[in-house]
Amino acid sequence: MECTVSWTGASGTRSGMGFVAETGSGHVLTMDGAPDAVKPENGGQNLAPRPMETVLAGTGGCTAYDVVLILKRGRHDVRGCSVKLTTERAEVDPKVFTKIHMHFTVTGKGIPASAVERAIGMSHEKYCSASIMLGKMAEITTGFELLDVDS
């Protein structure tokens, strides 16, 4: 796997803190920093997610993918899955994630809560590379709600 991240500058100048990531699979992701009120030349323009937000989004995507796949392989009628990630970060640099909570909302027909709990556990213990990696640095907790649909 590979990825090239390039600084974009701002509007053709070499200021701003925008970046473009080109992934090995041929996709592009933009990132930007937060504006800096004290030194605007050192801040971003708030035009895209922060790099640490993309780490969080990638982790959410990784674990949600696992949960859906595990439920589908178990022949459960899963219709939707989302995960809301909330974090706490260290106060000083490097401001790593110290706590991450993942709250899953799974929608489906007749899915037992035990199957959702099992899928989340399998993702975090065996399959989700991103959450397993972050779990070496941060305390990760999970929760879920299961929404049953009629048809």
CATH of the domain at 124: 3.30.300.20
pLDDT computed for residue 14 by the predictor = 61
Tell me whether residue 101 is exposed, middle or buried, using C-beta atoms within 10 angstroms of its C-beta: 0 to 12, 13 to 18, 19 or more.
Answer: middle
Residue 10: pLDDT over 60: no
- Give me the chain's average pLDDT, please: 94
pLDDT range class, residue 110, cuts 50, 70, 90: very high
Quick: pLDDT tens for 27-69.
999 999 999 889 888 888 899 999 999 999 999 999 999 999 9
Distance, CA of 23 to CA of 3 (rounded, Å): 4
Same domain, 85 and 142: yes
Burial of 136 (0-12, 13-18, 19+ CB in 10 A): exposed
Neighbours of 97 (CB within 10 A): 20
110 three-state secondary structure: coil
102 and 31 assigned to the same domain: no
pLDDT tens digits, 132-149: 999 999 999 999 999 999
Which one, of 110, 126, 25, 109, lies nearest residue 67 by Cα? 126
Residue 73 sits in the same domain as residue 130: yes
Q: What is the extent of the structural domain holding 8?
A: 3-42
